[in-house]
């Protein structure tokens, strides 16, 4: 039997802390990328250069979608964390639940603004973006079911 040196976390604890860190990073990135998407939509609605606006909005949406997807993957893998670190994960998962719901609502609202007031060339983008948001919402529901349960 290998004895653990004092102060050095076990491999299992290091892996758990890595997974917790991934979930925490996911929480942070959701709000930031949703804000950048909002700024891109604002710019697209005021910008007269349709081609540049479409590229900027698309790039910002892809970054948001990626941040949401990565946070889901982190939440899914975080569900295997056990032991003393589970309390830390539960706290972060509570924040993730709130940030995820707020972030999706923000994306949905900004896509709706773009669809209502944006140029016709954005209509196809908006339909595709709404579909992606629906998929994120569905994936979230199944992912969250397998995540550590919160103590209320």
Dihedral pair phi/psi, residue 6, rounded to 5°: -65, 135
Q: What is the pLDDT of residues 85-114, one digit of tens each?
A: 677 777 888 888 888 889 999 999 999 999
The predicted-structure confidence for 8-18, as pLDDT tens digits, reads as follows 877 877 887 88
Lowest-pLDDT choice from 27-31, 44-48, 69-73, 141-145? 141-145
- Residue spans of the domains in the chain: they are 11-145
Any alpha helices (H) in the chain, and if so which ranges? 11-46, 50-78, 86-117, 123-145
d(CA 144, CA 136): 12
DSSP 66-109: HHHHHHHHHHHHHTT--GGGHHHHHHHHHHHHHHHHHHHHHHHH
Please give the pLDDT value at position 14: 80
Contact between residue 123 and residue 56 where contact means Cβ atoms under 8 Å apart: no
**Among 143, 135, 132, which residue's Cα sits nearest to residue 62?**
132
Burial 123-149 (b: 16+ CB within 10 A, else e): eebbeebeebbeebeeebeebbeebbe
Q: Please answer whether residues 81 and 20 qualify as being in contact, where contact means their C-beta atoms are separated by less than 8 angstroms.
A: yes
pLDDT at residue number 61:
96
Flag whether pLDDT at 130 surpasses 80: yes
- Distance, CA of 152 to CA of 144 (rounded, Å): 16
Q: Kindly state the greatest CA–CA separation across the chain.
A: 70
């Amino acid at each position: 039997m290998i004895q653990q040196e004092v102060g050095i976390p076990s491999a299992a604890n290091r892996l758990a802390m890595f997974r917790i860190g991934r979930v925490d990073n996911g929480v942070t990135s959701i709000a930031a990328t949703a804000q950048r998407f909002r700024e891109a939509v604002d710019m697209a609605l005021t910008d007269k250069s349709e081609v540049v606006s479409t590229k900027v909005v698309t790039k910002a949406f892809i970054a948001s979608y990626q941040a949401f997807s990565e946070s889901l993957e982190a939440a899914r893998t975080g569900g295997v964390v056990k032991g003393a670190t589970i309390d830390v994960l539960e706290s972060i998962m509570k924040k993730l639940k709130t940030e995820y719901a707020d972030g999706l609502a923000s994306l949905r609202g900004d896509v709706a603004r773009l669809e209502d007031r944006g140029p016709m060339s954005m209509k196809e983008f908006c339909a595709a973006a709404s579909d992606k948001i629906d998929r994120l919402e569905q994936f979230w529901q199944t992912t969250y079911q397998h995540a550590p349960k919160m103590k209320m």
